[in-house]
Structure 1
Amino acid sequence: MIENFPFYLSLIVAIILLIMLANKIKVAYPVLLVLAGLMISFIPGIPMIRIDPELIFIIFLPPLLYEAAWSISWKELWKWRRIIGSFAFVVVFLTAISVAFVANYFIPGFSLALGFLLGGIVSPPDAVSASAILKFVKIPKRMSSILEGESLLNDASSLIIFRFAMIAVATGQFIWYEAALNFSWMVIGGIGIGLLIGWLFMKGQKYLPTDANMDTILTIVAPYVMYMAAEEVHSSGVLAVVSGGLLLSNHRHTFLSTSSRIRGVNVWESLAFVLNGLVFVLIGLDLPEITSGLEGVSLSSAIGYGLLVTAVLVVVRILSAYGAVIVTLVARNYINVADTRSPGFKAPIIMGWTGMRGVVSLAAALSIPTQLYAGGPGFPQRNLILFITFIVILTTLLVQGLTLPYLIKKVNMPSFDDHLPDDEADELLKREMAKFTLVHITNNYGEVFQKSPFLQQIHEKWRGKLEEGADIKISPEVRLAYLDILNQQRQWLIAQNHDKNQHYDEHIIRKHLLQIDLEEERIGLIH
């Protein structure tokens, strides 16, 4: 390991350069990173890289899920909960079933149980790939929210299918009521454990004398504790991290200090950047190990099987997207839905084409044991399953990843008017918050305001009549008043975000909350 350390350092430098190139040529960086990993793997003398699935499931997956849970809008997640739930669970199950029957029929030696195993592995789309591509194109906010929400949950449902299929292959039987009970425990137990541990971390950070450094470290530790605790009792570690992350994210302003929030954002952005880059390079670097184990089937046949499974995944996802539209149009006559308007037939095309697969699928395939049990026969079709998974990942990343921006521009999606345009929302929020602030100062700090040049300057600045002035000293009384004003602004913004009658995008709200945090930090530096 130590002798390969310079190689790993050079990988990180290469990842940074490749992502810079991807941003320059407007290509999703996962595509370039996988291709770069493939090319590097053919260089003579390059160390053989073997991806340990435990490395993905323990080291990479918890923080990436946690960071996604902190970034996503809970308001949007709840608003589109039905469609998100259907894609994250129902569509994943339908995909696994379709792959199972196709593999059983077309691939020699593939039992139905092995087909379900393969289906569970390749059924979850990768969130990072889609989000990286969507940076360069404009799509309605509702679609990006649905894709982000789906990506938080589909790993859990696919890994549940994978776990049950492994049992069926090893034992040769599937007891449906036991599977139903286990499934219920994995879902309920995973969510419950995540919420409990998240609540404990929240209370600990709120009442213990932590500082910004300690809080940041605790936020890094939290997803690992959630994941390992849930897996230890055989529930879903993915759901534990997601539920705990959502809980902490939505209460971040109640238990984290301003400094902790600011510092945590910077640390998590850098950590997620490195982890996402590494996992896609590792996919390409693992090709020699994958192809070396391919025996008993020709390379051309194995590639054909991989392309067949890829076609099944794409077709099922597109059909499911159209099916979701039809179900919504029918259901709106009987229940309240997020939007009664028809999304048309353009949106399902985009939703269906965003099914790029990624590192979770490869890690699941690699975690298949080489033997059915200790000292027993080899696991049937393990190497072929691994190779098909690699072909699926590579094909979906290259074909869908490179064509999705063109398809989005060609389809010309409607805006749906879910949210105000960013510029308009930004200006409106500034004006409304300024009105609220001026009223609060007048009603609560009239006397202090009359005696304080600092508050008068801030007052004038908010009214747009004064440019940024020179720093001036402020008294403790004025400092407390100003900090209270900033806190009132923060609470007003949070209330606007929770108001169902407002159409502000949450990322605009969060931008203004960050500005308040930065201003509060600046005031702390004025003596």
Structure 2
Amino acid sequence: MDHVELVILFLLVAVAAVGALARIIGVPYPILLVVGGCLAGFVPGVPDVELEPDLVLLIFLPPLLFNAAYFSSARDLRRNARTITLNAVGLVLLTAALVAVAAHATIDGLSWAAAFALGAIVSPTDPLAATAIASRLGVPQRLIAAIEGESLVNDGTALVAYRVAVAAAVGGSFDLLDASSDFVVNALGGIAVGFVVGKLMVLVFRHIVEDDVVGVTTSLAAGYVGYLPAEHLGVSGVLAAVFVGLVVGRRSPEIVTPSARLRGYAFWEVLVFLLNATLFLLVGMQLPGILEDQDRSAGTLIGLGVLISVTVIGSRLLWLNTVPYVIRAIDRRPEQRLRRIGWRPRLVAAWSGLRGAVSLAAALALPEDFPERDLLVFLTLCVIFSTLVFQGLTLPWVIRMLGVEDDGEGEREELLARREAAEAAIVHLERLAEEEWTRTRTVERMAGMYRFRRARIAQRIGEEGDWYVPDDGEDDDDRWADLDGRSNAYQRVVREALEAQRRRIIELRDAGEISDSVLHVLERELDLEDQRLEI
């Protein structure tokens, strides 16, 4: 890669600019990134970028998959296990098959293996933009969890199918029976490796729990620790990275300190953004070269891009509006009837099948001598553009038109957890009051704070009860009067006090009375206090 320093500078500036613009206009950044990436390659003076195909999956996928699995909900995965499994396996294979049929029929000389590789590339969904839109517009939490869970597992299904198809295309032969057995072996082997490595990583984290920086660095390595051995053994490194993330994420409350969590969240938020953004921009920068090598007309390329995009979108609409009715006819158990959703939420889920980083990485990882490689990369970009831009921009309209609204389950669970946590604190403080080393006034002051918190949460839930004990001099008749308003007023006072402290330590630094290192220590403490506020 020539002028690597210019490439790095351009990528960082472009990513920052597009990310800022996305926040200003209120559009999820993947949508703007794919548009910006397509345009960036045609800007005069932009340096040429040639990516090493073998490194694309290795660099980008393990951390992205580990992070997604780490923050997933095991409970939601279990609750939606059947839906997730059907979509992540059945829908992926259906999409890959239909795309393969369309591509094989319309692209002269394209082998079945190469056509199926294209289908596998564009079959996995990316939840980033879809869930960002759905969460902002108040879609039920169960629906969001199903979309996220599907995207977590279908990456593994799609990329196992992708590996089988690529091997068949390069080897020159394709046998359905052999491909099916390879698929099962790769999937189960990847899961087994991921589970074992995840357990080992939990032991590692337990021994480095006191070192925050080493812990965050180890979390970055965890995805690779699962991915690389699995790839070496010839099984799915993708599923291995996912299961490492699931195992470590499940045990993280026990093996990660609060300070390490703060560092880790900030680190991973930035890293995931950079990895996703870089992928989109890199593909866009390669687009001119991809088009130059094509001997097809612009009309033909556009027609193929529309065909494959319509096939991908149509496959999902077809599946999600037929298979659930088949399952309902088979499974008539009362508990399953209670979990059924109507056609409106299902249509929202069908329209949320946006493609993104995984499809990009898989397309770029095709070997240089792969049949019609440049065309397949171009068609992948067309699918990503169609789903992210067209479906992503129209998804808010679809949600509003169908009247799909948040059922409040997520908020209820959060309020319940907050109330139970406050109750646990009160009970423990009452127990501590009997200890010799505690001070009565200190315990009473803290218990009063938690009683107020418990009462405020109960008020938000809609419960009433004689829980809140007012301070001395407080009117008993007002003890249930707008507790949220009183809390917000108190938090405003706290924030004003924090700002006063922050201004003073800056003045001391500017006057040369304290060093910048002392400023940063105190500044971090004030920032942590500020983050605890709800306003």
TM-score range normalised by the length of the shorter chain: 0.7 to 0.9
Partner of 2:103: 103
1:27 CA drift (Å): 1.5
2:372 counterpart (360, 374, 381):
381
Taking structure 2 as the reference length, the TM-score comes to 0.80
Q: Does 1:438 align with 2:426?
A: yes
1:263 counterpart SS class: helix
Task: Assess if the C-alpha contact under 8 Å between 1:362 and 1:390 holds in 2.
Answer: yes
Q: Which runs of 4+ in 1 moved over 6 A?
A: 466-470
1:187 CA drift (Å): 1.4
Partner of 2:318: 319
More displaced stretch, 260-269 vs 138-147: 260-269
Taking structure 1 as the reference length, the TM-score comes to 0.81
AA of the residue aligned to 2:197: I
Partner of 1:358: 356
AA of the residue aligned to 1:256: V
Q: Does 1:302 align with 2:290?
A: no
Identity %: 35
* CA pair 459-354 structure 1, distance change in 2 beyond 3 A: same
Q: Distance in 2 between matches of 1:448 and 1:190?
A: 55
Task: Assess if the C-alpha contact under 8 Å between 1:26 and 1:136 holds in 2.
Answer: no
Q: Does 1:462 align with 2:450?
A: yes
Map 1:209-358 onto structure 2 (within 5 A): 210-295=210-295, 297-334=296-333, 337=336, 340-358=338-356
* CA pair 383-265 structure 1, distance change in 2 beyond 3 A: closer
Structure 2 gap ranges (5+)? 453-469, 472-489, 495-527
Q: Distance in 2 between matches of 1:341 and 1:40?
A: 46
AA of the residue aligned to 2:30: P
Q: Distance in 2 between matches of 1:64 and 1:382?
A: 24
1:463 counterpart SS class: helix
Map 1:412-491 onto structure 2 (within 5 A): 412-415=403-406, 417=407, 419-420=408-409, 422=411, 425-443=413-431, 445-448=433-436, 451-464=439-452, 465=470
* CA pair 368-335 structure 1, distance change in 2 beyond 3 A: farther
1:352 CA drift (Å): 1.6
Structure 1 gap ranges (5+)? 372-378, 471-517, 523-527
Q: Distance in 1 between matches of 2:127 and 2:163?
A: 21
1:408 counterpart SS class: helix
AA of the residue aligned to 1:84: I
CA RMSD of aligned residues (A): 2.6
Q: Distance in 2 between matches of 1:440 and 1:328?
A: 49
Task: Assess if the C-alpha contact under 8 Å between 1:50 and 1:289 holds in 2.
Answer: no
Render the CA deviation track for 1:313-356: whole Å, top value 9, x for unaligned: 1111001111232134224315954x635312112221221222
1:57 CA drift (Å): 0.9
Task: Assess if the C-alpha contact under 8 Å between 2:126 and 2:357 holds in 1.
Answer: yes
Q: Distance in 2 between matches of 1:120 and 1:138?
A: 32
2:448 counterpart SS class: helix
Q: Does 1:30 align with 2:11?
A: no
* CA pair 223-335 structure 1, distance change in 2 beyond 3 A: farther
AA of the residue aligned to 2:390: V
1:13 counterpart SS class: helix
1:13 CA drift (Å): 3.0
1:240 CA drift (Å): 0.7
Q: Distance in 2 between matches of 1:115 and 1:197?
A: 34
Partner of 1:49: 49
* CA pair 289-135 structure 1, distance change in 2 beyond 3 A: farther
1:226 CA drift (Å): 1.0
1:7 CA drift (Å): 4.1
- Aligned pairs, how many? 462
Render the CA deviation track for 1:161-187: whole Å, top value 9, x for unaligned: 222222332344333443333222211
Render the CA deviation track for 1:5-47: whole Å, top value 9, x for unaligned: 2442343233223222212222221121122222222221210
Task: Assess if the C-alpha contact under 8 Å between 2:209 and 2:256 holds in 1.
Answer: no
1:445 CA drift (Å): 4.7
Q: Distance in 1 between matches of 2:240 and 2:111?
A: 32
More displaced stretch, 232-241 vs 158-167: 158-167
AA of the residue aligned to 2:371: P
